[in-house]
Structure 1
Amino acid sequence: MKSIYQILLVCFIFAGFIACENETKVCDQTLSNNLHTHFKRDSALILTDTLMPWVTAYALGRDTIYKNQALTDMYFQLSPVDDSCRFYVKVDSTAVADTITFRYSRTKHFISPGCGFGTYFNLDTAITTTHTISYLQINNKSVTSSNDTHILLYFRVQQ
């Protein structure tokens, strides 16, 4: 009789771990709302999507996000405790690096009792140096999902 209770106890504990693991995955996906940036090439007033061959990007003073990767899009994680972030972006091994500064406001939103609160961002300003990036366009100021394209980065065509 005592062993049946022990087996049932182990089964309940195991079921609890499985339930928590699934909620953790849901929370991670729900909390992920990175700023999505898409690359465009500007050539004689013809705009085309472009693949940058050697992208390196990192948050200034923080970790590397991308290192020597061929990309058409980048995703930046904005700080939930600061109102601005700066990023180093180099799109080709021979190009001069640019910096991009994002200024935004933050709003907490309730997700669920298990997940807690997340942060939505409202992009106010985006500033870039123009070594390789010609200009940027804010496409969507509300950063509530990584599925939306928030920023378009335009690059000049090298002759």
Structure 2
Amino acid sequence: MKKIIILLLITLVFSSCEKDDVCAETTPTTPKVVIEFFDAANATDTPKNVTNLKITAANFTSSIIYNGTNKIKVPLKTFQDNSVLSFTLNGSIDPTSDDNLDEITFNYSRTESYVSRACGFKTTFLLDSNTPVLLTPDAANWIQNIVVVKSNIENENETHIKIYF
């Protein structure tokens, strides 16, 4: 009798769930900007791995670390029309004396669209046509050039930005 009651309760709980109660991992949500790294010394588009790259947003203490890859995905701020990110080469290892920080500003407009009750809203980005990505110059920039490949950031299936170093 106890087993029957438990089965009835389980059936009741799961039968009241609707499709929109769970956001499936395959549901497209707010995309990250896809950045691919290339060798600046090579005239062709030769991918180049970054090593010990630390990315930190302005006014944030936590960072994202990338190591041994030539393609990364970085989140942009969904509550304002720009994101200032510090790209620190050798930033994830000690000592910090060889760290090389380059600051990049991403300028964009945002569009929000409703996905579902469980997933909420997603934001897509359109990089500004006049000043989409700005590298703050300093005496020792490790980033040599930034190229916008795709201004519409609607998914993570394609490269949006190329960085040459």
More strand by share: 1
More helix by share: 1
Aligned counterparts, 1:77-156, within 5 A: 77-92=75-90, 94=98, 96-124=100-128, 125-130=132-137, 131-155=141-165
Contact 2:30 2:124 in 1 (8 A): no
Deviation of residue 115 (structure 1)? 2.2
Aligned counterparts, 1:15-54, within 5 A: 23-26=22-25, 29-43=27-41, 45-54=43-52
Deviation of residue 16 (structure 1)? 5.5
Which segments of structure 1 move beyond 6 Å, counting only runs of 4 or more? Answer: 17-21
Post-superposition CA distance 1:71-116 (Å, at most 9, x none): 2122111111111001111233635210110010000112234323
Q: 1:133 aligns to what SS in structure 2? A: coil
Relative to 1, partners in 2 of residues 1:91 and 1:73: Cα closer, same or farther, differing over 3 Å? farther
Contact 1:59 1:65 in 2 (8 A): no
In structure 2, give the amino acid aligned to 1:65. I
Deviation of residue 15 (structure 1)? 5.7
- Gapped regions of structure 1 (runs ≥ 5): none
Deviation of residue 17 (structure 1)? 6.7
Deviation of residue 30 (structure 1)? 1.7
- Tell me what 1:13 maps to: 13
Which moves more between the two structures, 44-53 or 75-84? 44-53
Contact 1:95 1:132 in 2 (8 A): no
In structure 2, give the amino acid aligned to 1:121. F
Contact 1:111 1:118 in 2 (8 A): yes
Which moves more between the two structures, 34-43 or 5-14? 5-14
Q: Give the superposed CA RMSD.
A: 2.7
Distance 2:120 2:18 in 1: 19
- Tell me what 1:64 maps to: 63
In structure 2, give the amino acid aligned to 1:7. L
Contact 1:55 1:71 in 2 (8 A): no
TM-score of the pair, normalised by structure 1: 0.80
Contact 2:58 2:86 in 1 (8 A): yes
Deviation of residue 147 (structure 1)? 1.5
Deviation of residue 135 (structure 1)? 1.1
- Gapped regions of structure 2 (runs ≥ 5): 92-97
Percent identity for Structure 1 against Structure 2: 24
